[in-house]
Amino acid sequence: MVIRLKKNKEKAVLNFHPWIFSGAIASGENGLPSGSIVRVESSSGAFLAWGHYDPKSQIRIRLFSFDELENGSEESYWTKNWNTIFQSKMALLPKDTNGFRLFHSEGDGIPGIVVDCYHETAVMQLKTPGARTLCDTLVSFLYQKGFKTILERLEKPDDKSGLDFIFHTGSEKEPEFSEHGIKFIADITKGQKTGFFLDQRDNRALVSRYAKDRIVLNTFSYSGAFSVYALLAGAKTVHSLDISKQAIELCERNLDLNGIQLKNSPEKHKSLVLDSFDYLKNMDSNFYDLIILDPPAFTKSIATVNQASRGYKDINMRAMSKIKTGGLIFTFSCSQHISFDLFKKIVFGAAKDAKKRVRILHHLTQSPDHGYSVFHPEGEYLKGLMIQVDGDT
């Protein structure tokens, strides 16, 4: 099956970018089944790449091979690549860590496939029709690698069961795993993403370096992982804030799992089931000296970037206005459409409106097992800054 591009539309492919948009295609789509492997050619008929076809997406083809002899039609092509990635990821893991991202879609050259691992549990997300054609092969591969529970999180609920997950093997028990020797629970059936935000691992470790003796506010706290790290590092007090009662319950379970007894030390931690925007607006000034702003993605479309930018600016401005002088803010955006440059401009605008002197101490990004291809800068979705608020301008 051959897809031919329009004249002068091959430049991105020659630069190894893995996406071909609908507007670049000249011919070959008629009657082509969804998920098909297609050979992509230039307008003159020269080979460019192999990819999976998706007629319902503006990204019509996601490329996985730029070698004319490696067309992905054989199972061995995928298992060989997956084995190479597996060895690479194992070499990247820090000590006492068995929670990690095994497959990171375009970042690992396998578009549409995400697999997160929690000790002996693997959670898959197959985001494209082409990825879904590889489901059985992937399940078999993961089973051979020793994962006893293999779960698939679906993009939308199944028509028959109404559930948005499928167990291919194993049990529904929530897995426990370790990160830098710290224990966590992954809510693999009802939780966000695959049950835990593994991409923040190194940033949580950085919080540990600065949390000792500080009063910490962890907004949008979800599983409370930042809170656990801060308390184990000697934080004076931590407040975990999330609008979801279920998230706060998971946070408290993770605290208990690590021996942080809430009943015996109520002054150490407070759980707040509240809206983070409202709390930042109304909280007392000069109380917290370390604030974590890790909201969900405020936009998933280029059309709503301006609205999302206002949301990021609002929470940063309020945190800057209320934090103690000399206080630290860990601020993040996981919106793919918010570039690092734009995010820094948003923080600049927040500092200007708050009339605060702010210094950038660290640039933050996703953990190494979430690495992105140099040819696919869109893969850098997590942007963060550690800033210090030095006082009024």
CB 315, CB 295: distance < 8 Å: yes
In a domain, 232, yes or no: yes
Same domain, 162 and 252: no
Number of domains in the chain: 3
pLDDT value at residue 160: 79
What single-letter DSSP state applies at residue 272?
E
23 is written with which tokens? Answer: 């507007």
| Rounded Cα–Cα distance for residues 350 and 11 (Å) | 38
Last residue of a domain, one of 181, 209, 235: 181
Same domain, 230 and 374: yes
Q: How far is CA 63 from the centre of its chain?
A: 21
Same domain, 259 and 146: no
Same domain, 220 and 360: yes
Same domain, 255 and 370: yes
Nearest to 119 by CA among 161, 169, 173, 178: 178
CB 76, CB 39: distance < 8 Å: no
Same domain, 101 and 52: no
Last residue of a domain, one of 47, 65, 83: 65
| Rounded Cα–Cα distance for residues 267 and 261 (Å) | 11
In a domain, 263, yes or no: yes
Same domain, 146 and 241: no
pLDDT value at residue 263: 67
Same domain, 213 and 256: yes
55 is written with which tokens? Answer: 């007629």
pLDDT value at residue 161: 82
Same domain, 364 and 245: yes
pLDDT value at residue 264: 66
In a domain, 193, yes or no: no
| Rounded Cα–Cα distance for residues 219 and 281 (Å) | 12
Q: What pTM was estimated for this model as a whole?
A: 0.94
In a domain, 302, yes or no: yes
pLDDT value at residue 299: 80
CA dihedral 258, 262, 265, 270 (to 10 degrees): 110
Same domain, 238 and 98: no
Same domain, 119 and 167: yes
Q: What's the CATH number where 229 sits? A: 3.40.50.150
In a domain, 70, yes or no: no
Same domain, 127 and 174: yes
In a domain, 212, yes or no: yes
Nearest to 331 by CA among 219, 211, 228, 209: 219
pLDDT value at residue 135: 97
Mean pLDDT, the chain cut into blocks of 10 residues (393 residues total): 96 97 96 96 97 97 98 97 98 96 98 98 97 98 97 88 91 93 96 94 98 98 97 96 96 95 79 96 96 91 88 96 98 93 96 97 97 95 97 90
Helix (H, G, I), strand (E, B) or coil at 276: helix
The residues, any chain, with a CB within 8 Å of residue 45's CB and separated by 6 or more, are 4
Structural domain span for residue 351 = 199-392
